[in-house]
Amino acid sequence: MAVANRSLRRGVNYARLALMAGVSIAAALGAGPAFSQDTPATPTGLPAEGQEDESAPIVVTGIRETIQTSIQTKRDSDTIVDAVSSKEIGELPGQSVGEVIATITGASIDRANYGPTEVSIRGLGSGLSMTTMNGREATNGSGDRAVNFGQFPSELFNAIKIYKTQQANLIEGGVAGLIELETRKPLDYKRRSIQAEIKGNYNPYQDRIAGQSGFGHRATISYIDQFKAGSIGEIGISIGYQRNDVNDPVERFYTSSTWFTCNAAIVSTANCTEVTRQQGNAGTPFFHASNSYLYRQMITSDLRNAVFGALQWQPSPTLDINLDVQYSRRQYSETRNDFGTAEGRYNLRNVVIGDDHQLLSADGSATLQTVSGLFKRDEKYLGLGGNVEWKPTDRLTVTADMGYSHTTRLDITRQVRLRTDPFDIYGVRTPINNQRIPYHVDMTQSFLPVFTYDARFDPADYEAFSDDARLTRSQDGRDDEIYAGRLDASYALDGFINRIEIGGRWAKRKFFGYSNDVNIDQADLAVDRRVNLACRTPFAQSGFLSDAPSPALGNYATFDVLCQFRQYLGTEDPGPSGDLRAVENSDVTEETWAGYAMATYAGQIGSVPVRGNFGVRGVHTQVTARGLRGDLDIVNNADGTISLRANGNFAETEVTSGTMRWLPSFNAIFDVAPKIRVRTGIYRAMSRPAPSALGAGRQITLETGAGFTNVADAINSIIATGSPRLKPTMSWNADAAFEYYANKDTLFAATLYYKRFTGGLMPIETDEDFTIGGQTYSVPVTQTTNSDDQSDLYGVELTASNQFTWLPRPLDGLGAKLSYNYAWSNYETQDIRYGDVIDSATGVVVPGLIPAAGLSGYSKHVFSAQLFYELGPASIQGIYRYRSRYYQAFTSNNTQLRYVEGNDTFDVNLGLKLNKIADIRFQALNIFNEPRVEYMPIVGSTRNVEYYGPQYFLSLRVRLR
């Protein structure tokens, strides 16, 4: 089934494939002559390497300058590095930092409706990479160690580097690599610059929504200047500001995040009978089903304000003082209108099952619901840094650095649920005369399931949604804060060892995350009728999910959620509950001490110059996780059954864990020819678990309903929200790179790399005691632990970049860059509910029912291509990106497996320089309207489908020097 789905999707991509074939052929043709000549052809006007042409200096700008600078950055580096870099602010090719990074070899992005969010390197997820901003670790609001790249405007950066190999003086944490974001130091810029850009935005999907405009705007201004201050030296300042006010439309189908294995041999008149690991392994037939299947129509808004500033002071040639600040605030909202099946496992019959146990089609009867919601997110980032570099002698350099990073994220969701009933809002029996509506679901037509409801039911009939009114106010907060300092010293020597570096780093990270839900049930049918009549809204969108390959649902009943809150409660926001404490909360403190020693060397092996470094870094990490344990009360129902309810009595718990890791590294660079460089690296690396994955919380899930006769039946599951004793992921690594620099515009590079991982992740069940109704019960709790498994990853990276200067004019303005990464790994990640699990009492591994996934973010194939053409003041650039299917973990490790289908996007940039100070630019993003498709817990079981539509930007930029 999964194969059939992919065939349907790829069938619409022939235009893309043809386009990229043309780019590849052009690049190959361009690279061939450049690689076969020792000097470029005369039309370039470029001197041969090592020569000067003072009579005809050429100033290269625009796309070509960015690629030239990126090639030179790679060539000058001491390790294996890929970069995108420009001498000018605002020249990086993308709307956000994430889009820029996706053009770097081996890097791929995770997309959402508001653009790239996380970055994977060499087929390894964001959790295995480290990101620094001006050399310092940065926080985020997601609870992991990735950086939300959509939070930062690309216009205010001038360089982004990815260190593929490690060296001792780099901050630890990057098994996959280290991403370094750089803002330009003002004195290094060496001239005044005032730059302003106004950019208009148009989203066609937003124009489908009645009463909404598809237009938005983005304004950026920056100022850089230098001043000679007499006896106190030189001072440089830079400041940049951006306001981004756009909409981020999305059309969505999704399921709940919990899936069950249903017994296919039993046709249940209620929820399906769950199959255990033992039953499934014994041969009981089963299939995977979700609790709910829903459609979501949304109206979005996205406002971001960002300020970046820097002050550089050089009071003397031996002292360099830098201060920098970054601030960003993003206010995002979604007006949500949901409709769908609330009981996805109820009364399933005539079930057709795929080869991998996915549900292909079935008949069912389920309560249907409409949910009106308003989601608001307020996220703030603040970064502060100070750096002092002192050169007391010609040989000694001492550097001190202090940094602070703080992110707060507050999510507030208000929603009202209405469900079907045997009676409408007037008390009249419906034609079906049952709250549960018969339906048929077909999941074979494409990745978007097709639901066909009983002809007697109309999803757009407001009067049918008359029961089970529930108002929910959810508040989720996250606070991530880092204090850090480092001290480094470097001493130059004569001889083979030409420099010794030592240093230390201290960092303290504090993460706190909480959830607070207020649920209000409303059972007065007269009130329901009044609110239903008062708060109806017409279905706002035309062509909802019409771009999907299978038939769309069409319109359904929607309501104004703020009107519903006012009518039901007399207020639009009842506020949180009085107590924000909960057993799910995470409170983690992580303290790190690290020190290193590194030697840099240069010499010769025979006639071949060789240089590099070797060293070791020691890292001690101490984790303290605080959590709460809550009691449950037993509620005796009138019919003799019971239900469970949290009573708010909490006891505190604290878990500590520490690790010490040593990270040796060795790098060597061989200049085997004037234009050929070979690099090697052998090193050990580590990546810590996400801060939220280290929490000591518990998630207690109770079975829906109240028809239980004992405590064991009432508890669905207890899963740890984190595992404080999780250890870092460790790897031994080896890299070998071949690089050929034909000229300033031409690069061919190939890198082979290998990683040996020590320890994987597996679920483990441990019995814990809980007080329920005043009595102590032992309940199995599932959490994640490190295993002793070892696994491998093999990969190859290829990069080819060429400006076709050897062609006659005007074709010499053509250029291309191709990047490809292939990776293979046998690393395994188990599903928390149905994967292999360790019985803590016996140590025996119980086989699971679901195949293991790989590393989070692991794509076997990642490819990007840029084709550009510059002619005088005009330029055009096409950027294509592709990554194959990958497993993506949620923020916490303790969730079921989620796969993201492979995707490809194509963007176009056009530019026209009007004069020396002004230019206009046009950008078209996601031209082919690539959706995001997710599966859970196996490939073929659709969990989420999102369509964003293309986006268009037109800008005017002015530069004053």
Q: What is the pLDDT of residues 857-899, one digit of tens each?
A: 889 999 999 999 999 899 999 999 999 999 988 765 557 899 9
Chain segment 327-346, per-residue pLDDT in tens? 999 999 999 999 999 999 99
The CA radius of gyration of the chain, in Å to the nearest whole number, is: 30
Chain segment 655-665, per-residue pLDDT in tens? 999 999 999 99
pLDDT tier for residue 91 given thresholds of 50, 70 and 90: low
The count of structural domains within the chain is: 1
The backbone torsions φ and ψ at residue 127, rounded to the nearest 5 degrees and listed phi first, read -70, -15
- Report helix, strand or coil for 442: strand
Peptide bond into 937 cis (omega under 30): yes
Does 13 or 325 have the greater pLDDT score?
325
Domain around 870: 2-960
pLDDT at 930: 92
Q: 């300058």: which residue's tokens?
A: 65
| Percentage with pLDDT > 70 across the chain | 88
Task: Report whether 349 contacts 296 (CB < 8 A).
Answer: no
Q: What is the mean pLDDT of residues 609-626?
A: 96
- Report helix, strand or coil for 188: helix
pLDDT tier for residue 771 given thresholds of 50, 70 and 90: confident
Distance CA 501, CA 516 (A): 49
Q: Which residue from 377, 624, 671 is spatially nearest to 510, judged by alpha carbons?
A: 624
Q: What is the mean pLDDT of residues 505-518?
A: 93
Peptide bond into 810 cis (omega under 30): yes
Question: What are the Cα distances from residue 428, in Å, to 333, 424, 458?
Answer: 38, 5, 16
191 burial (CB, 10 Å; 0-12 / 13-18 / 19+) is exposed
Decide the pairing of beta strands 837-839 and 761-772: parallel
The backbone torsions φ and ψ at residue 352, rounded to the nearest 5 degrees and listed phi first, read -110, 130
The tokens of 72 are what? 């030179």
Question: 129: how many CB neighbours lie within 10 A of its CB?
Answer: 27
Chain segment 897-912, per-residue pLDDT in tens? 999 999 898 999 999 9
Does the pLDDT value for residue 505 go beyond 80? Answer: yes
742 burial (CB, 10 Å; 0-12 / 13-18 / 19+) is buried
Q: What is the CATH number of the domain that holds 199?
A: 2.40.170.20
Give every CB contact of residue 158 below 8 A, 6+ residues apart in sequence. Answer: 85, 86, 87, 88, 89, 91, 92, 182, 183, 184
Does the pLDDT value for residue 122 go beyond 90? Answer: no
pLDDT at 710: 63
Q: Which residue from 728, 781, 744 is spatially nearest to 592, judged by alpha carbons?
A: 728
DSSP state of 954: E
Amino acid (one-letter) located at 600: T
Does 65 or 432 have the greater pLDDT score?
432
Q: 């083979």: which residue's tokens?
A: 496
Strands (E), 92-150: 107-112, 115-121, 129-133, 136-137
Distance CA 396, CA 499 (A): 10
pLDDT at 107: 81
108 burial (CB, 10 Å; 0-12 / 13-18 / 19+) is buried
| Percentage with pLDDT > 90 across the chain | 57
The DSSP result for 928-952, as a single string, is T-PPEEEESSSTTSEEEEEE---EE
- Report helix, strand or coil for 462: helix
pTM over 0.85: yes
The backbone torsions φ and ψ at residue 913, rounded to the nearest 5 degrees and listed phi first, read -85, 115
Amino acid (one-letter) located at 259: W
pLDDT at 682: 96
Q: Which residue from 157, 111, 155 is spatially nearest to 131, judged by alpha carbons?
A: 157
Distance CA 545, CA 540 (A): 13
Task: Report whether 743 contacts 47 (CB < 8 A).
Answer: no
Does the pLDDT value for residue 837 go beyond 90? Answer: no
Task: Report whether 795 contacts 824 (CB < 8 A).
Answer: yes
Lowest-pLDDT choice from 22-36, 389-403, 459-473: 22-36
Does the pLDDT value for residue 749 go beyond 90? Answer: yes
Question: 842: how many CB neighbours lie within 10 A of its CB?
Answer: 8
Chain segment 296-313, per-residue pLDDT in tens? 999 999 999 999 999 999
DSSP state of 345: T
Distance CA 264, CA 259 (A): 15
Task: Report whether 866 contacts 881 (CB < 8 A).
Answer: no
The backbone torsions φ and ψ at residue 34, rounded to the nearest 5 degrees and listed phi first, read -65, -40
Chain segment 172-221, per-residue pLDDT in tens? 988 888 988 888 789 988 889 899 999 999 999 998 999 888 899 999 99
Amino acid (one-letter) located at 801: S
Distance CA 177, CA 121 (A): 7
Entry field: residues in the chain: 961
- Report helix, strand or coil for 253: strand
- Report helix, strand or coil for 101: helix
Helices 561-569 and 525-534, interaxial angle, to 10°? Answer: 140
Q: What is the mean pLDDT of residues 377-401?
A: 96
pLDDT at 104: 82
Q: Which residue from 292, 301, 373, 294 is spatially nearest to 337, judged by alpha carbons?
A: 373
Question: In DSSP terms, which residues pair with 334 in a beta bridge?
Answer: 300, 375
DSSP state of 157: -
Q: What is the mean pLDDT of residues 614-634?
A: 89
Distance CA 800, CA 756 (A): 28
pLDDT tier for residue 644 given thresholds of 50, 70 and 90: low
Q: What is the mean pLDDT of residues 621-638?
A: 81
pLDDT at 45: 38
DSSP state of 900: E
Query: What stretches of 208-341 show up as alpha helix (H) in DSSP?
Result: 277-281
Does the pLDDT value for residue 843 go beyond 90? Answer: no
Does 718 or 88 have the greater pLDDT score?
718
Does the pLDDT value for residue 417 go beyond 50? Answer: yes
Task: Report whether 222 contacts 238 (CB < 8 A).
Answer: yes
pLDDT at 695: 85
Distance CA 498, CA 395 (A): 10
Question: 571: how many CB neighbours lie within 10 A of its CB?
Answer: 10
pLDDT at 44: 36
- Taken in order 742, 745, 751, 755, the sign of the CA dihedral is positive
Give every CB contact of residue 498 below 8 A, 6+ residues apart in sequence. Answer: 492, 600, 601, 602
Mean pLDDT of the chain: 86
Decide the pairing of beta strands 715-720 and 536-537: unpaired
Chain segment 670-696, per-residue pLDDT in tens? 999 999 999 999 999 998 988 888 888
Question: In DSSP terms, which residues pair with 111 in a beta bridge?
Answer: 116
Does the pLDDT value for residue 428 go beyond 90? Answer: yes
570 burial (CB, 10 Å; 0-12 / 13-18 / 19+) is exposed
Q: 């590099």: which residue's tokens?
A: 612
The DSSP result for 586-648, as a single string, is EEEEEEEEEEEEEEEEEEEETTEEEEEEEEEEEEEEEEEEEEEEEEEEEEEPTTS-EEEEEEE
